[in-house]
Structure 1
């Protein structure tokens, strides 16, 4: 009796048919029978025998073999096998490491030399030194391994050089862990951003377009080597609802977000909302590395003469780099116009928008965060910022020591620095470390418009004239 095949790791299907092949193959290989076989091996053997013998009624033979599993198989030649899960991963890895092959001429069978005019040149883009960042992360024990970061570097290169996407900048944001598959997230800015033409309904907070929480465009993939998928822009309603629920990611962008309150979208929108919250709360930079620009201080620019401190092993050496997301779900507060007063009434006063901390706010500076994504530090209250210090060495006097901070509010977020080089990364489940209080259900609607009153009185007897006769029923 043959030994049962080992159970392969199951990977959840992605957003298209190509990503669903590994999960289907893994399931067929996992379902082993008592006799030691599985569905994949049985169907492969049956198909091989049918292709070799080519009987007159292949459908009858196939149904008989599936129902009875008594078909005597004597395959002498190499069977025709479907691609296995390992072969699929190998093909993906090969496409990540290898250069694109030239097209093959169907007549001669030789590779054709691409015409210089027809070949589209790779896109020019800016990015960080991924392998330098990987060494900093590895020194402090955060982020991903060196080998995985090398594959991330190749994925960043493929995305940046894509002439169709046309990114201006690309940065590896991190890895969002899921129950069945993980998301590799890439933060980009596009050279030709698309402008949605949808109109905002009346009474709904409008979505920020190419600014605020949607200043960056994010691409994700569950397997390095596959073409990343662009996430949609997040909406204020999605951010507000994401703050009220707590869900694990599944690895399928089309999965339903089963929670209360009802989330406005699929997992792709929920993932985008969580990325917006995490980015605004955990992307930090050394104090003094950037300076504010503009009259209102809504943008930052690199400081030309930045003096790096001797060590970054201090929370006070870091500040928030991205703007704060208000409780409304936007960076810039939107104020609805007051309704027109009726005759004889005074006009209503406009709502006062929430005041957020300015950009480049130090991590140790006290402020009252209404949304709770940054930190809830009330002025005068004792306690430090929700960050802890990480370092590459605890020995004093070590030169070129890497230092940084880790977020305690969003476990998995970290920032490290050495000299004038710093990097941010997030590797976690996308869940905030805060007490979760479920939103109570809405009150039960009254059955009648009027209030219910208990009464012991009998209903009035109907008149004899209005009562139906026996013939009327």
Structure 2
């Protein structure tokens, strides 16, 4: 009796089994097919063996050069999830970058373990009691709902973000609330953004010397919340500056992928008066203003009640038991202040006698401040005609008696791809995971200068006219003086001629 044929899983395990070199047949075939596609040989069958041997030689050299260095190890620790891998962003290796390296994997895992150990020691050090007065959201629960909405993290990265948020809440005095705002992808290192709110004295920012006349003060408008940024494997949160109207106005007009360096100069057109940290803060303000939502009617209940949390449970508002009720665009409204094109949330007060009063009144009429709590149905569609919002329902949509629906409703922004508001069982929150790019905004391409124009052909010079004396004379006294002088010269010449003639005649007579 012949043995049963192997299953697909058994074949996959066999092909992916690694030997002493750290590579498997599956990895080798993957690189081999990629090399054949890249080189396009005339006879792939004949070139198969030579390319296979070349790949093996390259791997051996690569292992020797990397045996004493961790250069090329996957940044950010273990492999990432659907939002770009680890905190350090997706890997950017070469053709053989996807091949596993046992040494590099061990180094990366060791580095990640030390980082997590440091975080855990800060959060729950022996003999140190934690203060639970800070309202810090449960990121694990949020990430579970984010996965239902299609924008979640893997368990390893979610655990690190959770620890970092707890560390931020425990290390900064005066903070009253901490929540995960989102992740903005960059070329080198991505930004994890935390949104905080303070009670009393707030940490000093760099805007103390960069204040503008019409900017929102700390705790108001776009600066109601304070934001911190975390990069790569670092456990250190960086305080972002306050948002300035000039930065907000310029950030609307540009489309640029961030580099991952907060201190880098932003090179773009129109010119941005600030570093990348200022552009990052402006993008956070713009995205928050246009994508953070709340159910219709919830805002009025919060204003009438005593609640101050922008995204939490309020006893005055009754959430629908069926989540399908919120699966419509008309059931949601904006919950952050509207930002004008000039970067303002409130127009300044100007005396009526002032010269700027008339100009300010014209500006207010052209672009009035939209009210807080406006429905998202009023948002303009995209330039291509598609709607600004789309809604997705996932999970168990069945309705049970006297219990809330288990469905997860996610409202996705088409204007800012990556912005999602998620609702589940009386809980809702807004996050952003994306590149920080506005949909439909054209990138900046410098115009090619026109061709250099050739020199003009020289014109033919006209000959100078030679008029006669009579044509030049206009009867003026100057002409009369010249005529008299000319006559005197002629008389002198005649006298000289006569004298010469007489002298010649005398000489002839004497000679005779």
Asked if residue 351 in structure 1 is aligned to residue 361 in structure 2, the reply is yes
Asked if residue 436 in structure 1 is aligned to residue 442 in structure 2, the reply is yes
Alignment equivalent of 1:8, drawn from 47, 72, 77: 72
Residue in structure 2 matched with residue 75 of structure 1 by the alignment: none
Offset at residue 172 of structure 1 (A): 0.4
1:95-114 superposed matches below 5 A: 95-99=118-122
* Residues 45-94 of structure 1, C-alpha deviations (whole Å, 9 max, x = no match): xxxxxxxxxxxxxxxxxxxxxxxxxxxxxxxxxxxxxx966544332122
Residue in structure 1 matched with residue 389 of structure 2 by the alignment: 387
Asked if residue 264 in structure 1 is aligned to residue 328 in structure 2, the reply is no
Offset at residue 274 of structure 1 (A): 0.2
Residue in structure 2 matched with residue 317 of structure 1 by the alignment: 331
Residue in structure 2 matched with residue 328 of structure 1 by the alignment: 342
Residue in structure 2 matched with residue 361 of structure 1 by the alignment: 374
Asked if residue 91 in structure 1 is aligned to residue 91 in structure 2, the reply is no
Pair 1:347–1:359, CA change in 2 (3 A): closer
Offset at residue 438 of structure 1 (A): 4.6
Contact kept, 8 Å, 2:397 with 2:406, in 1: the verdict is no
Asked if residue 410 in structure 1 is aligned to residue 468 in structure 2, the reply is no
Residue in structure 2 matched with residue 422 of structure 1 by the alignment: 428
Alignment equivalent of 2:220, drawn from 208, 211, 219: 211
Distance 1:217 1:168 in 2: 11
Alignment equivalent of 2:145, drawn from 136, 140, 148: 136
Pair 1:138–1:338, CA change in 2 (3 A): same
Q: Secondary structure at the match of 1:389?
A: strand
Residue in structure 2 matched with residue 158 of structure 1 by the alignment: 167
Contact kept, 8 Å, 1:174 with 1:184, in 2: the verdict is yes
Gaps of 5+ in 2: 1-56, 77-86, 97-102, 448-458, 462-512
Offset at residue 101 of structure 1 (A): 9.1
Alignment equivalent of 1:193, drawn from 202, 205, 210: 202
Q: Secondary structure at the match of 1:262?
A: coil
1 or 2, which has the higher helix percentage?
2
Alignment equivalent of 1:304, drawn from 293, 315, 322: 315
Offset at residue 123 of structure 1 (A): 7.2
Distance 2:148 2:256 in 1: 32
Offset at residue 166 of structure 1 (A): 2.9
Offset at residue 307 of structure 1 (A): 2.1
Contact kept, 8 Å, 1:416 with 1:424, in 2: the verdict is yes
Residue in structure 1 matched with residue 258 of structure 2 by the alignment: 249
Contact kept, 8 Å, 1:184 with 1:220, in 2: the verdict is yes
Contact kept, 8 Å, 2:255 with 2:441, in 1: the verdict is no
Contact kept, 8 Å, 1:315 with 1:389, in 2: the verdict is yes
Contact kept, 8 Å, 1:96 with 1:224, in 2: the verdict is no
Contact kept, 8 Å, 2:410 with 2:422, in 1: the verdict is yes
* Residues 186-216 of structure 1, C-alpha deviations (whole Å, 9 max, x = no match): 0001232257654857xx6445433111111
* Residues 153-211 of structure 1, C-alpha deviations (whole Å, 9 max, x = no match): 2211111111x44311111001111111111100001232257654857xx64454331
| Superposition TM-score, scaled by structure 2 size | 0.58
RMSD, aligned α-carbons:
4.3
Gaps of 5+ in 1: 13-21, 33-40, 42-82, 103-112, 367-374, 442-454, 458-473
Residue in structure 2 matched with residue 370 of structure 1 by the alignment: none
Contact kept, 8 Å, 2:180 with 2:194, in 1: the verdict is yes
Larger Rg: 2
Alignment equivalent of 2:288, drawn from 279, 283, 288: 279
Distance 1:336 1:226 in 2: 46
Offset at residue 126 of structure 1 (A): 0.8
Residue in structure 2 matched with residue 451 of structure 1 by the alignment: none
Offset at residue 143 of structure 1 (A): 3.2
Contact kept, 8 Å, 2:397 with 2:407, in 1: the verdict is no
| Superposition TM-score, scaled by structure 1 size | 0.63
Q: Secondary structure at the match of 2:62?
A: coil
Alignment equivalent of 2:238, drawn from 229, 241, 248: 229
Distance 2:116 2:235 in 1: 9
Distance 1:100 1:140 in 2: 29
Alignment equivalent of 1:376, drawn from 380, 386, 410: 380
Pair 1:350–1:217, CA change in 2 (3 A): closer
